[in-house]
Amino acid sequence: MNVQAYLAFNGNCQEALSFYSELFDAKVQNRQTYEDKKIDVPGSYRNKLQHAELKGKGVNFMAYDASPDTPINHGNQIHMSVDVDKVDEAKQLFEKLSQGGQVHHNFREREWGHFGRCTDKFGINWMVNCDH
């Protein structure tokens, strides 16, 4: 069994995946746009991503730009959780993810290890954990 997240964006999926691919040293794969698809979307939306995957060592999720008739409601239904082995790396990752977004719980030591929770500049919720 394989369970993974599928993230929805409002037209900025490629920008978000470029950010995440650099941050996590991962590659965008299976990139498909709305071009040549039999879907009723405006011509200006044809170059948006209908599907893409981000894959790397320990990273694997899918994403797309929801069609304009599918409203995206930012909420707390999904959090991406990242486990990092080293505290310094976890702190640096948290700082980059939260830059331009919103910090909900500062990255600091907790009873179970180090933890921080934020919403990034694309509206995606993240939890960064390090048990050391």
What are the tens digits of pLDDT across the range 36-85?
A: 877 888 888 899 999 999 999 999 999 999 888 887 876 666 889 999 99
∠127-65-58 over CA atoms, to 5°?
Answer: 40
> Structural domain boundaries of the chain?
6-65, 79-130
d(CA 23, CA 2): 23
Q: Residue 131's pLDDT is what?
A: 87
Architecture of domain 6-65: Roll (3.10)
The CA-atom distances, in angstroms, between 49 and each of 8, 44, 66, 89 are 10, 12, 8, 30
Q: Residue 112's pLDDT is what?
A: 87
Using a pLDDT cut of 90, give the percent of the chain over it: 67
The CA-atom distances, in angstroms, between 5 and each of 37, 87, 132 are 24, 24, 26
Architecture of domain 79-130: 2-Layer Sandwich (3.30)
Name which of 82, 95, 96 is nearest 130 in CA terms. 82
